[in-house]
Homo-oligomer: A and B are copies of this chain.
Amino acid sequence: MVRFMPDESWSPPIVLIAVDLVILTLRSSALHVLLVERGIAPYQGDQALPGGFLNNAAEDILAAAHRELREEADLDAGHLHLEQLGTYGAPERDPRGRIISVAYLAIAPSLPEPTAGTDAASASWRPVDDILSGHTKLAFDHHQILADGVERARTKLEHSALGTAFCDETFTIADLQQVYEAVWGVQLDPRNFYRKVQAVPGFIVPAGDERRTTKGRPARLFRPGPRTVLHPPLVRPDQQPMNLGVQ
């Protein structure tokens, strides 16, 4: 039921809305992204981000993202961090016509291989480094979307409590450090990390005096605190001066 028309002779362009998901997680200390193999043309057989079309004109976009999260990734959408990443709408990005995609960034704690027998049967976790370095080509403009998603995650680690979204419900400070090291791709000093993380009020709170069994001294467990914005931020060390223009 669309009616409007500033100019009656003008007819609205037909555009389809899609949703694409950059689902990041940590597996064996490396950043991974969930990819699916495309079953139909175009780009049949290629790897692509999970996603799909808006179901109907009444479906909310964020709701569509959650739905795809369930359908394609078989992930419980309930307590997953999900945020809008950007909209990708270059006219030629999809050979089937004008398809504008709203991309979302999702962060998940460590998870097993996607279960077969669901829509996600063709899905698999892939190391982000392999994709971004060009070893695997992605369909459409998904390489760009993934790069933007990873960059967003990197900067959000500095200023928000996003890091805890990679962890389980309770976690040690060493667990959290692994998240930062994997996403940032750097090594951090455990002592200084410990101190800085604790210095941010409300970032993480002790989860009772419980502890975990390993080889050495047990570690205290924490859970995410009430603050989502970090003060002070955890600054990423030595962001290499990348794009200096002409000198």
A interface list, Cβ under 8 A from B: 1-4, 6, 12-17, 40, 53-61, 84, 86-87, 89-91, 96-100, 102, 201-202, 225-229, 231, 239, 241-247
Contact present for A227 and B243 (CB under 8 Å)? yes
From DSSP, what is the main secondary structure of chain A's interface residues? loop
Contact present for A87 and B58 (CB under 8 Å)? no
- Chain B contacts of A87 at CB under 8 A? 61, 84, 86-87, 102
Contact present for B97 and A3 (CB under 8 Å)? yes
Q: Which of B12, B86, B242 contacts A16 (CB 8 A)?
A: B12
Instruction: Name which residue of chain B comes closest to A41, CB basis.
Output: B4
Contact present for B59 and A91 (CB under 8 Å)? yes
Cα-based distance from A13 to B55 in the complex (angstroms): 7
Instruction: Name which residue of chain B comes closest to A17, CB basis.
Output: B15
Contact present for B4 and A96 (CB under 8 Å)? yes
Contact present for A60 and B84 (CB under 8 Å)? no
Cα-based distance from A201 to B239 in the complex (angstroms): 14
Q: Which 8 residue pairs of A and B lie closest in terms of their CB atoms, listed nearest first?
A: A226-B245, A2-B97, A13-B57, A57-B98, A61-B89, A87-B87, A4-B96, A13-B56
Interface CB pairs A-B, < 8 A, 6: A2-B14, A2-B98, A3-B96, A14-B14, A84-B87, A100-B100
Cα-based distance from A153 to B66 in the complex (angstroms): 29
- Chain B contacts of A202 at CB under 8 A? 244-245
* A91 and B4 in contact, given A17-B100, A245-B202, A245-B227 (Cβ under 8 angstroms): no
Contact present for B231 and A246 (CB under 8 Å)? no
